[in-house]
Amino acid sequence: MRILITGGAGFIGSHLCDRLLADGHEVLAMDNLITGSENNIAHLAGNRRFMFIYHDVTNYIYVPGPLDAVMHLASPASPVDFDRVPIQILKVGSLGTHNALGLALSKKARFLIASTSEVYGDPLVHPQPETYWGNVNPLGVRGVYDEAKRFSEAITMAYHRIHGLDVRIIRIFNTYGPRMRLDDGRVVPNFVGQALRGEPVTVYGDGSQTRSFCFVSDLVEGMVRLLQSDVLGPVNVGSPDEITMLEFAKVINRLVGNEAGIVHKPLPVDDPRVRQPDITRARATLGWEPKVTMEEGLARTIDYFRSRIWQ
């Protein structure tokens, strides 16, 4: 297959490039590097089946030649980005998704939209099944990302219903691993970065809020399976193993050997109290569930950050 990945130089996108190339496909990675990095794909520069295209998908997308699939991952996705580039997030979720859908339609390609667990907001149903419609504050700081992704799902389904486009919707839950940005603002790089620097790990609120963490290789496996399946979606892909932020901070400190402890700060506005996917649909339709244990995944992630934190 010849596959375009928007956001291909990002954390998840670059790992997806690796996997699809390893599977024998031709991959075009498109990115404007607002949060992605050429360092993430530098090792692919000599691969004849790989091409990097520097482009902002909120502008018209032109790709010469045929495409079999468009995988739309482009979007800043970290809490720090919600304050830093909120308009760009809204634009890539709306204009960018519209342009990517138009390209897929013109090429008669399958379209996969990388949606997010944030469409569930601060959920009133736990764990979250795909049938849950969510509890989102559209006016809050986080709303720019939540609503951009909800719009992305809506326009994807509109293209499916009106134009008959072959689409897939994946809802990605907290994912971590090598190539995350140290200044990402998400839990794993925050905790690991502080622990490696010998600082107290910052836990917001009392730390009773929960998350579940999926290693990036497991997520990519789910994405590939969904793309190759006949399942429209949406499909939750993430780890069902829930952990409190306080306990997670203790795990990070233990693995790093950080003795500086933990410090508590006020809980951010609209921060979800719980987050855990119901992956019944992924198990039943894709035969997918995560394989990498938290200890194994964190060890690999800590090694990655350790090699870069003092560069």
C-alpha 63/C-alpha 40 separation (Å) is 22
**Does residue 177 come out as left (phi exceeding 0), alpha (psi in the -120 to 50 range) or beta?**
left
Catalytic residue among 145, 176, 204, 304: 145
Encoding tokens for residue 72? 């739309």
Burial 10-26 (b: 16+ CB within 10 A, else e): bbbbbbbbbbbbeeebb
Phi, psi (deg, nearest 5) at residue 175: -125, 145
**Per-position b or e across 280-299, b if 16+ CB within 10 A of its CB:** ebbeebbebebebebeebbe
Query: Catalytic residue at 145?
Result: yes
Which pair of tokens denotes residue 250? 């203790």
Tokens standing for residue 259: 């003795």
Q: Which residues are catalytic?
A: 145
